[in-house]
Structure formats: C-alpha cells, structure tokens
Structure 1
Amino acid sequence: METEKMRVGIITYHFPYNCGAALQCLALQTKLEELGHEVCVINYRPWYHQNRYTPLKNPIYFAKKRFQEPAGDFARRCCHAVDGFGRTVHSWRKYPEVSLKEKKFRPFVKRYLHETKVYRSLKQLQRNPPKCDMYISGSDQLWNCAITNGTFDSAYFLNFGDAKVGKMSYSVGADFRNLEKPEEALRGLIQDLDVISLREERWLSVVEKAAAGKIPTHIDVDPTLLLDEGKYAAFMPDMPREKEPYILTYTMTGETQKQIYNGARLLSEKLGMKVIDVSGDPNKMNKKVEDNRLCGPDEFLWYIKNAEYVVTNSFHGTVFSVIFKKKFVTIPHAQTGNRVTELLDKLGLSDRYFKITTDAVAAATNDIDYDAVSENLQILRKNSIDFLQTSVQKYGRNGGQN
C-alpha cells in the first residue's frame, strides 16, 4: 500500500504529572511522524481532569462533586459537600510540591508534543474540532470510568468531528470491572469507531461482544514499545552521571508500594548499592528512601537508562526497564498488575514478576536473555506498527474507505 500523508489527531492523557502518560503520547506521535504523517495532540483537558492536576484545586468543584455522590437526605449530602470543600482547601498546603511537578512536566509537554488549543469540554470539542484526516484515541486508561469522573467520557470514543474523518483507538487501556453489563454500556459508545485496538487481551471479549462483528478489533503494544532505545536518546537531558551505581525504584501508590521499597532496601543491603526513587511523591518517599527525586519524563528516561537495577510495580517502569535492557523485577500492582504480567508473558519474561518481596530480591541480579526478549519484542512491535499504518491509510479521510 502506497503511503499517503494524513493529518492525525491523538486524544489521550498527555497532561498528568505522570511520566508514562507523557511518554506514551510522545511515542505514538513520534511513530506516526516516522510513518510519514502530520500529527497533533488534541489538547482535551476537561474540568474533572484539570481539577485533579492543578496546583490549587477548586474547592467549589469538589464540594459539588461530593454533594452529588452519596445517597441519603439533604443534610447528609450537605455534610459531604462541606467535607469535600474542606479537604480541597487543606490540599493547598501541597502547593509547592504540585507546583514543582508542573514546572517539571509542562516544559516537556510544550517542547515535544504538538498540542492544539485547549478544549475544556466535549461540547467545545464538538463545536470546533481540529481538522484531521484521522482521529486516534489512545493509549493509556481512557476507557476506565474510575479515571473519567465515574462514567465513560465519549470524547475518548471520538464522539466529535466530521463523519468522513477516520476514527480508531490504538492500544487503548480499559477497565470494566465495576460494570455489571459492560457490553451494553460500550455498544453505543463505540459505534463511531472504524477499528478498535486494545492494549490488554483481558477485555477483548467484552469489546468484541459490544462490537457484534461490525468493528474489527486488535491487540497492540503500548505506544512506548513502538520506539527502540536509540529513539529515546533524543528526549533525554544532558546530566552528569551518578558517582556510584544505583538501584532505581519507581512506584504507583497502593498496597505493593511498600513491598517495592522493602525489596529495594534488601537489595541495597545485599549489593552495597544506594537506592534512588523517582516516583514523584516526596511526602511518601522521604519515609522510605533517603535519595528521592522529582523528575520530569526526560529525567525519568535518563535515570532508568543509567540504573544498575530497577525495582517497580509500574507498567511503564517495567516497559522502560525492558527497552533499556535493565536487570529488573516487578511486583505487580494489586489493581492494575494484569497489564504488566500480560506483557511480560508475551516477552518471555514471566520470571521477572513476583508476589513475594524476598523472591523478587533473590532474582533481581539474575541475568536476562535480552536477545530472546528483543526477538519477541520485534515481532510484537512490527505487528503493531503494521496495524497502525494500515488502519490510518485504510480508514483516514483520504483513504477512500469512508
């Protein structure tokens, strides 16, 4: 198929203070550009997201949100609203910390991502969508009600734009655990999509039932895996090397976080090597690791590339350990660990994730056959790149299919 240049718009979570979120968007943008397309990132920042990631959260917003949540009489709901207002005002004490995160992340996003103007609501996006030949939703947890204000956000199902514009998801993350009948909830939402690509096979059968054979479905790797190690060098800062080798920890909050820090401590004692934590929450990290650092996505890449060992419970912490061929162990997150174990099984790395900390520490220094891993990754990567390019060409406005 001859490649025809398309203008592609990506909608995703590119703005949270989370290294994986920013880097997965950058990776998809970069790969599409390498495939010959012009790319923009649809700067969709609805209020429910904005209030989560702003240095000074709006207490009125959270008071209204708490007022609407509980069942019960008016007085009880008012109490919840007052509690929401008070907790939000109390969170202002973290302004210096959150402001520092913003200073780390915002320049990276501004420098590397081709953002459109800001859209604060679906209605704004529907009234004046960016002019594109193809819209792509993905990756990250876009189809997860827990993240999108308790209900699906149809913007992430591409419910906007000219009907002639192609619409697809790419490696979109989903979570339907709290829905009684997810197929029914999805059926109306996915009807505008030409093709669906998921990241985890766990939810494939649910989406296939919702699609009822009318929409092709596919499983693809996270966008960060579309690029090899060399491509990420262009996004790393020029930093002086650490004076001594180090173990890196990168964690998501949750019940396995403590296991990660305990494991890193045991490994540190075993190897006589310091631990650096780049998880991004100094208030929690100070209690566990002496050397904790707040990093932007570029610094995050640098620290993983130069680490001797990585101990993590994070999906993207695991992904970049693989990309940079690190010795690593993963104790999967209790709620989201499936995406980690599924990927490592496909790569032939099922011996790198553990439930028990001492087992993880014992295996951390074991060699990894990265020649075999690279062969597996190349197959997955090629299949996903071929799918991405074929879909853009087939379903894009200029592809002649719509």
Structure 2
Amino acid sequence: MKVLLTTIVDNVNYGTYLQAYATVKLLKDRKCDVDILNYIRYHLTPEHMLSKVKNKGVKSYLHGLINIVLDAYMKRNLKKFLLQKNKVTPNFSDWTSFKKTLPPYDLYMVGSDQVWNTEHNHGVDGVFFFEGISGKKVAYASSVGIESFQKEDYSKIQTLLSDFSKISVRESFGVEALKNLGIDNVTQVLDPTLMLSKEDWRKIGKKTFRKTEPFLLVYSVEVNKDNETIAIARKIAKDRGLKLYLISPYVKFNSKLKVDKLFSLADTDTFLALFQEADYAVVSSFHGTAFAINFGCQFVTVAPERFSTRVQSILKLLDIENRYIHNINDIPPFDIDYSKVNNLLEHHRAVSETVFDSLIQN
C-alpha cells in the first residue's frame, strides 16, 4: 500500500520529528510504502519571517536575519533524524499548486502533533486535511490541542472531515471538540511515540550517553517559563542529590541558566540518549512527558502557558494527573508506581494498535 502522510515537519522541536518518525515506522512495519509531505507552513517560511522585520530598521533587520539563519540550522539539525531513513516530497508552502503535482496514493493519512490546532496553525490549514484530494483519508492521533474550535471554523472543518473514513485523535479533549461539530465516529488513541516501546527507541537512537553521575534532566518548550521551570528542577535536584542537566534545540547560555551541564543546539539523538539515562525529569512539553513515561523516568510536568489539554489528557489516561504541577509548591512528595502505569500503557497501546490496523485495511 502506498501512503502519503501529512503531519507537522517544520518546527524546532524534538517531538515534531520523533512523532513523524514513529508514525512512518508503524506504517512500514505493516509493509506500507510511505512518503511524507514536506510542508513548510507559510508563517514559518524565511520570506515571511524576514518580512516582519523588513521595515523596522537596520538593527532589527540584522537581528531577524540572524534568527532566520539559526532557525534554518536548527530545523535541519533536528530534521536529519527523520530524513535518514524516510522519504519526503520536495518542500513546499503553496498547497494549491503543489497538490496538482502529486501522484495518486492508496491512502492519505493525517498524522499526530497539533495538525488541527487552529490557533497554532493560524487558521484551518487545508494541508492537514488533504483539502482538494480525492481518495481514502484517515487520521491517526491527530491533535486538536485546544478545547474547542472557533464557531466561524465549524462549517469548514465539518466539510473537510466529512471526506475521512476513520478519525482518531490524541486527546480526550479532541474527541469532545469534534463531537461539538457533530462528528461522533472519533476514537482516542496514543501518540505514535508511545506506540513504540522503550526498547524500540533504544534501537532507533544513534547515540549513547556515558552516565557518570545521577542527574535530573530539564526540557521545556515554554521559553517564557524557563526561570520557573529551572527553579522547580533545582529544588528537586537538591532534595534528591542529583546534578542538573538541561537540553534544548535552541541557543542557550549557561551564564543565565546555571545548570551543571547544558546541551544547547542538541540533536534528536541526544534527546533520546539523555531521557534514557535521566533519574528524574522536569518537563514542560507533551513529548517530554511522553518520553519520560515511556522510559520509566520519575518526572513532573510544569503547566504550559497554553495548549495544556495535550499533557493533561495523557496523564489522565495513565492515572498520574498528580505529576502535572503549576508551581514549586505542587511538587508531589512520592514517586510514580510504574508497575501500574506500564499496565495501563500496554492496555492503551493494544487498543491503539487495533485502531491503527483498521486505518490501513482495504
């Protein structure tokens, strides 16, 4: 079966490429031939990013140009993890023109990540619905990310999803958001990264980390909450006698962070290697939470500024909602019982496997 997958592949974010890799692996394991749409959303194109600083003076222009170069470098640094063993289409930003060049596929799959988050994507993005394409369309673990859609988007989303034969989403909130549109045939499933076991990820990762001391790992996509997240991590590390490590795909300076080890501009393989060895993790990220769970790491998730439904949903599914904290006073005094968590994870993994199999059946 020849499959065309659309998902987010233009972020500076480890989870973006890990979820895409996992989805492709699930398809390949079922003997599918997979192409990934190499879509660059318009608001993330260099041209658009530069236009925002074009008329703001020389200093702003040069600063913007430096950021664009760094952004391109970091995306390439992370994306190579996905490109090493997988096929992608030529990159594009104009769907209207690009879809005319596509050959026919047996299956059109919308993947995970926040593909249906209309705030995150600056509106209803037709690429993530295969708008204008005829053929069998399905969705696996598509993330809505918000609790409800804007009413002005109801009609368009209803029309686009009426073409789908089967729909599954990543969050319970996504199920409810679609039900509010009158779409009832929706199933909640695991994010594709959780469909692979920790043993699978150990085989996939190309790097190992030589651990010389017990450490707490900090990973956050909430840049504005760095100080709060690190303060929480520092308290936990002190209480547990752990060194403090931080990983980021961005440029970070330890003069501000003051951690024991800083992994700045780190690639995706380094992310996997560190999560495998961490004794504790403080995260503010859905996929940081997912990999802490999958590797059996003690952790807390610091509440993000927005789109919190993604994390809350997986924690509720695995009955560990107490790991979701808002401030330093919320740190739970007890550890996670992973015997219970792993039993629930295996159950939901089996359910999600059945759903995934049903998506690719003729």
Give per-residue Cα distances to partners, 1:133-181, cap 9 Å, x unaligned. 1111121111122332x221111111143x2x21011111113657245
Aligned twin of 2:275: 304
Distance across 2 between alignment mates of 1:23 and 1:133: 24
Aligned twin of 2:79: 106
Distance across 2 between alignment mates of 1:340 and 1:84: 40
Aligned twin of 2:14: 19
For the pair shown, the structure with the greater C-alpha radius of gyration is 1
Aligned twin of 1:76: none
SS of residue in 2 equivalent to 1:334: coil
Question: How far off is 1:108 after superposition?
Answer: 1.6
> How many residue pairs align between the two structures?
359
Label 1:249 to 1:127 Cα distance change in 2 as closer, same or farther (>3 A): same
Distance across 1 between alignment mates of 2:27 and 2:258: 39
Q: Given that residues 183 and 207 in structure 1 are in contact (C-alpha distance below 8 angstroms), is that contact kept between their aligned partners in structure 2?
A: no
Aligned twin of 1:269: 238
Q: Given that residues 260 and 311 in structure 1 are in contact (C-alpha distance below 8 angstroms), is that contact kept between their aligned partners in structure 2?
A: yes
Is residue 2:136 matched to residue 1:166? yes
Q: Which runs of 4+ in 1 moved over 6 A?
A: none
Aligned twin of 1:121: 94
Q: Given that residues 141 and 172 in structure 1 are in contact (C-alpha distance below 8 angstroms), is that contact kept between their aligned partners in structure 2?
A: yes
Which of 382, 386, 398 pairs up with 2:350? 382
Aligned twin of 1:184: 155
Give per-residue Cα distances to partners, 1:37-83, cap 9 Å, x unaligned. 222212222433333xxxx87523x36xxxxxxxxxxxxxxxxx734
Distance across 2 between alignment mates of 1:340 and 1:102: 24
Aligned twin of 1:41: 36
Which residues of 2 match residues 186-201 of structure 1 at below 5 A? 186-201=157-172
Give per-residue Cα distances to partners, 1:175-212, cap 9 Å, x unaligned. 36572454334222222222221111213233134345
Aligned twin of 2:323: 352
Label 1:119 to 1:244 Cα distance change in 2 as closer, same or farther (>3 A): same
Distance across 2 between alignment mates of 1:303 and 1:390: 35
Give per-residue Cα distances to partners, 1:8-30, cap 9 Å, x unaligned. 11101123221000000001111
SS of residue in 1 equivalent to 2:257: coil
SS of residue in 1 equivalent to 2:18: helix
Distance across 2 between alignment mates of 1:95 and 1:212: 40
TM-score w.r.t. length of structure 1:
0.81
Amino acid in the other structure paired with 1:381: R
Distance across 2 between alignment mates of 1:336 and 1:286: 30
Distance across 2 between alignment mates of 1:378 and 1:9: 28
Distance across 2 between alignment mates of 1:373 and 1:272: 25
Which residues of 2 match residues 186-335 of structure 1 at below 5 A? 186-212=157-183, 216-253=185-222, 256-283=225-252, 286-290=255-259, 291-293=261-263, 294-335=265-306
State the percentage of identical aligned residues.
23
Is residue 2:104 matched to residue 1:131? yes
SS of residue in 2 equivalent to 1:119: coil
Label 1:268 to 1:183 Cα distance change in 2 as closer, same or farther (>3 A): same
SS of residue in 2 equivalent to 1:44: coil
Aligned twin of 1:369: 337
Amino acid in the other structure paired with 2:341: V
Question: How far off is 1:388 after superposition?
Answer: 1.3
Aligned twin of 2:128: 156
TM-score w.r.t. length of structure 2:
0.90
